[in-house]
Amino acid sequence: MSTQSDNQPVPAENRASGWVIFVFFLIGLIASLISGWIAFPNLLYSTKQQPIDFNHKVHVEQMGGQCNSCHFFRDDGSFSGQPTLDECKSCHMYPMSNDPDEKKFIEEYVKKDKEVPWLIYAEQPPCVFFSHAAHVNGAEMECGTCHGDIGQSTSLREYQENRITGYSRDIWGYGMLRIGEARHGRRHKMNDCAECHLKETGSKGDCFQCHK
């Protein structure tokens, strides 16, 4: 029985079939990456708006540029985080401007003595602990180091919520390749914290520094 010599050229139709298979494989790979990194994350999150828009710039100017006028440390060292209705009432029992959001705030929340159900961008799972005191008081870090120039913002950005976990998208960022994060504002992933700790302390720290 005669056999084809190993030195004979591969038929053109076989080479063409190989290229077709490679092209389809490449298209499939690209489609998978796009759907996995871009399309699926966008489907995974729902977009919500805050119940009241908030102008940080106006408040910072009125408070003399101090973040701790509204975001302060309590006597026991814990961080107050989001201001309560009582803290806001000291200035907003009556409208101070023609801003429709301020009027809405007074009518729907102040007069009804009802806390605003703010959507918390940085709310962490119960297993995670973050100490503002360690960073602000201990390490003497400025608020803008992590939060960016939030004091100059005139409106709150949209809130994106994970449809499965119910947590904010800010916790994990806006893409595996960090595409779009500059557009959405400053956010931090765990690797960012580790890099900063390594730079400032010489160690990335251990898991139980943040995880309970």
For the chain, the structural domain boundaries read 119-212
In this prediction, residue 182 carries a pLDDT of 47
For residue 200, list its beta bridge partners: none
Q: What are the average pLDDT values for consecutive 10-residue runs of the chain, which has 212 residues?
A: 54 66 81 70 86 93 85 89 90 89 94 95 86 91 88 92 89 59 57 84 81 79
Question: 98 Cβ partners below 8 Å, 6+ apart?
Answer: none
Single out the residue of 149, 188, 123 nearest to residue 60, CA to CA.
149
**Dihedrals phi, psi of 46, to nearest 5 degrees:** -105, 150
Q: How far apart are the first and last CA of the chain?
A: 74
Q: From CA 40, how far away is CA 153, in angstroms rounded? A: 30
Rounded to the nearest 5 percent, the helix, strand and coil shares of the chain are 45, 5, 45
In this prediction, residue 159 carries a pLDDT of 93
Triad 110, 113, 119: Cα angle to 5°: 75
Under a CB-based contact definition with an 8 Å cutoff, are residues 176 and 165 in contact? Answer: no
Structure tokens at 40: 């699926």
Q: From CA 161, how far away is CA 169, in angstroms rounded? A: 6
Residues 133, 138, 142, 148: is their CA dihedral positive or negative?
negative
In this prediction, residue 16 carries a pLDDT of 64
Q: How far is CA 194 from CA 139, 185, 190, 199, 201, in A?
A: 15, 20, 6, 9, 10
Q: From CA 85, how far away is CA 105, in angstroms rounded? A: 10
Q: From CA 112, how far away is CA 85, in angstroms rounded? A: 11
Confirm whether pTM is higher than 0.85. no
Neighbouring CB atoms inside 10 A of 50's CB total 17
In this prediction, residue 122 carries a pLDDT of 85
